[in-house]
Amino acid sequence: MSYVDELFGLKGKVALVTGGGRGIGQVIAAGLAKAGAEVAIVSRTGADETVKKIQAEGGSAYSLIADVTSEKAVDAALAGVLSRSHSLDIVFNNAGICIHKDTLEAGIDEWREVLDINLTGEYIVARAAGRVMIERKIKGSIINMASMSGSVVNVPQWQASYNASKAGIIHMTRSLAVEWAPHGIRVNSLSPGYIATPMSVDTPQELRDAWMPLIPFHRMGKPEELIGAVLYLAADSSGYTSGSDIIVDGAYVCA
């Protein structure tokens, strides 16, 4: 085994990825599999395409269907993981949505939808995973998907619900990190900037044109540029890292 494999290899680990049917979740699921993990991919509609991609590259993966806003569905999905894989070492808590609307135009139902999926959904998944890890004495790693929007207010689009949900995820992550530290469970968050995924690429061209001058790198990031940060947080090499928020944004929040 090489030194890099010792630091970042995930052979023998079981990873759960939510929202892994496309975009960042799909890329991270493939990255975890390439590092040696068996990957269970949870989404509302299934992730057969992601599973086929991973298996074609020699990795191990399977798909489960669950709505992350339902405790019952999440518990059933985790039971499926434990029945098939007999462990749960890593969680990439990724499912989320964004609604771009002025606050005075957005309905309260839209606010609740974003908070319910992004914040409450991640809480439900993290809570269920934490329970499994504590009961089984697994010193696991939970990686919550936040965003640079949890640290800055994006312009020119207005998205108060999304920003609030991501700021909540960052502080929820810190809270769980402290609470579960005695159990050896690490909880961290990942905060991407503008990444070239369907969520960003499908936005109006005028918004994307406005973003570019604000990004010091003057380009959107690639989903693959998040894999290294996730592997670090997932692997044993980050054994003393918990409660951290890793920002991968082309220096956007610094400008």
pLDDT at 75 > cutoff 90: yes
Contact 30, 58 (CB under 8 A): no
Whether 3 is a known active-site residue: answer no
Query: Can you give the residue ranges of every domain in the chain?
Result: 3-195+224-248
* Catalytic one of 85, 149, 166, 191: 166
Whether 200 is a known active-site residue: answer no
Alpha carbons 152 and 58: distance in angstroms, whole number? 40
Confidence of residue 201 (pLDDT cuts 50, 70, 90): low
Distances (CA, A) of 119 to 12, 89, 114: 30, 22, 8
Domain 3-195+224-248, CATH among 2.40.128.20, 3.40.630.30, 3.40.50.720, 3.40.50.1980: 3.40.50.720
Whether 147 is a known active-site residue: answer yes
For residue 105, give every residue at least 6 positions away whose Cβ sits within 8 Å of its Cβ, in sequence order, or none: none
pLDDT at 248 > cutoff 80: yes
Residues in the chain: 255
pLDDT at 42: 95
Confidence of residue 1 (pLDDT cuts 50, 70, 90): confident
Alpha carbons 185 and 247: distance in angstroms, whole number? 21
Contact 154, 160 (CB under 8 A): no
- Please give the model's pTM, rounded to 2 decimal places: 0.96
- Identify residue 251 by its one-letter amino acid code: A
* Catalytic one of 162, 189, 194, 200: 162
